[in-house]
Amino acid sequence: AEGYGIHFRSSDITNAFVNSGTITGTATASISGGTSSASATAYGLLIDSGSTFGSLTNSGTVSATATADSSDVTGTTATANAQAYAIEINGAATDPGAISNTGTVTASATATADGDSGVATANAYGFFINNTANLTGGLSNSGTISATASATAARRASNLLS
């Protein structure tokens, strides 16, 4: 499952991108029984490869929440993967100018795997700037940026006795 609040891909934003409201990206994946793997990725604001923009200003709220739950798996490994990116500027987004946050940026990722055996991974990022050559205008923050990740893998209780 994937969820996007706003996704710019190969887009030109010649002036400023300003958020004073609320942007939310949510993804939930849940599977039960048999062979199961659940994966959820959420983005509040994703500025993707090939995009250009003058500046980014947030005085509102940008959030991303990803939840993955894989349960009741028998005979194999339950796998859950959750990734949350509140604001991501990714791969060759050209010279993004100034980035300013005076608002709230939050990311939360939760993964739970429960079966004969389990593997759970969770990653959360407030700001994730990846493969971007220049931040000529810099990054300033006088607001709140938070990221919380939780991963739990449990072995089914009936298998603990064997």
> Which is nearest to 145 in space by CA: 85, 96, 94, 76?
85
* Alpha helix segments (H runs only) across the chain: 157-160
Q: Any residues with CB less than 8 A from the CB of 15 and at least 6 apart, and which?
A: 54
pLDDT value of position 54: 75
pLDDT value of position 161: 47
| Residue 36 pLDDT class (50, 70, 90 cuts) | confident
Read off the pTM. 0.88
Residue 10 has pLDDT above 70, yes or no: yes
pLDDT in tens, 73-131: 677 788 999 999 999 988 655 566 788 999 999 999 999 998 878 889 999 999 998 87
